[in-house]
Amino acid sequence: MERTKILKNISYSFGANLISLCVSVFMVMFVPKFLSVNDYGLWQLFLFYFSYLGFLHFGWEDGIYLRYAGKQFEELDQKTFAGQFYGITFLQLFLAVFFTVLGELFVDDPMKKLALICAVWLAPFINFTNLCNFILQITNHIKDYAKFLLTERVVFFLGVSFFLLVLHRNEFRYMYYAKLFSTISLTVIGIYLCRSLLVPRFYSLGQIIEEAKENLTVGSKLMLANIASLLIIGIVRYGISVGWDVATFGRVSLTLGISNFLMVFITSVSVVFFPIIKRMDEDRRASAYKSIRTSLDIVLFATLIGYYPLKSLLAWWLPQYADSLIYMSVLFPVCVFDSKLSLLINTYLKSMRQEALMLKINVVSVLVSLVVTFFTVQIAHDLNLTVLSIVGIYAFQCCFAEYFISYLLQMNLRTDILSDLVMCGIFTASGWFFDNVFCMIIYGGAYLSFIFLQRKQVKRTIAMIRGN
């Protein structure tokens, strides 16, 4: 019965994320076709700033996520959550005003100022809906979570399609209008789903502040770890935005966006994966980690083969971006390391309440990113080297994290880590130096060799899935 429920939850989340993937494909394949290079670059810069809005609650929502995980929706105290909802919303409005003033005073570039101000005024909506999202996840309302995710993506898709295809408004501001409308629509849905927690009846101000303090204390480490994780790639992208023009930033962001398609599927599983690991017996965690890791490798390395026909298709469809598509061979392996981090490593660390260790790993990775970006952007001023550093930093973070995982679970992962690095190295080198046909043959041979060498672990994984 439990297995059936888990599979249903995964299917709900997977279905919603599959539709989200279709929207993402549309955004990557069609939007650059209609927007000018500068407008697309501005849109990507806006999305870059937008990606950090979820951290403006400073761990407040993360604390709620960790403290109340496993509770039933009916068990949540209405007065407590009403105070937290309204408190977080007030904070976001204050910060929106604050960053608007900072942008007006200190950002000289009008395009960068526009992107920043447009992004920060979505913060009240985004962090309200993020809290609704968290509540649906921790109370195991995965079906409602899936509907929640689906609504935003569908409304956004319809908005973009209306402006670009019907009205032929191919400018940044219309993309923003579509994003604004979808965000507000999601807020309305969130208000409806969590309406019982939004009745304006509160405990005293002192009790609200005390609850907020506790949530901030608990969630701050996880939030900082998440911020650090985002900064790892964010620093490199910011370096590109400073060192080169908006158009170049847009071209690199396009290839990075294409490379991250697979993360949609990883997200759909990770939503329901955390409670499974949390309940798992400690003596089974090591063997489960190995099996899951091998399964991920098989899927992820097979997915990389899609690079070869996709590159040819994109070169034909988006000729203005053809020169930058070479970066896909460098950036595609990002999904290998990022998937392991998101689905496997971070899930295990959170289930073992190792938020402090997550923070340590990510802070060290941020420092590495800072040093590498300074060298590649300021000293070398080499775009190729800067893009290559992205996958190098992800690889470092993943290997560094697995060093601690191997210690915590008392297992040897050296051979597995080396296999990952070799496979990604072969893929990148063959894609960079050879044409599509030849590099496909080289990487295909490497993949078959990998499957052969891992055949025993593959059999054990299949046996575990079958429940033998």
User: 423 with 444: CB under 8 angstroms?
Assistant: no
Measure the CA dihedral 278/280/282/286, to 10°: -100
| 94/166 Cα distance (integer angstroms) | 37
User: 363 with 231: CB under 8 angstroms?
Assistant: no
Burial class (CB in 10 A: 0-12, 13-18, 19+), 75: exposed
Apex CA 326: angle with CA 17 and CA 237, to 5°?
65
- As a residue count, the chain comes to 468
> What pLDDT shows up at residue 6?
54
The pTM assigned to this predicted structure is 0.67
Three-class DSSP labels, 40-86: HHHHHHHHHHHCCHHHCCCCHHHHHHHHHCCCCHHHCCHHHHHHHHH
Select from 219, 266, 182 the least CA-distant residue to 10: 266
A 10 A CB-CB count for 80 gives: 17
Distances (CA, A) of 163 to 167, 175, 300: 5, 8, 35
> What pLDDT shows up at residue 1?
43
Q: Helix, strand or coil for residue 140? A: coil
In order, the DSSP letters of 142-159 are HHHHHHHHHHHHHHHHHH
User: 357 with 385: CB under 8 angstroms?
Assistant: no
Q: Mean pLDDT of successive 10-residue segments in the chain (468 residues)?
A: 54 63 71 83 87 84 80 84 90 93 85 89 92 82 75 86 86 91 91 87 86 86 77 79 75 71 58 56 73 80 78 76 72 82 79 79 88 86 83 89 88 87 88 75 86 75 56
| 93/181 Cα distance (integer angstroms) | 18
| 66/350 Cα distance (integer angstroms) | 9
| 413/402 Cα distance (integer angstroms) | 8
CA 389 to chain centroid, in Å, comes to 19
| 144/13 Cα distance (integer angstroms) | 10
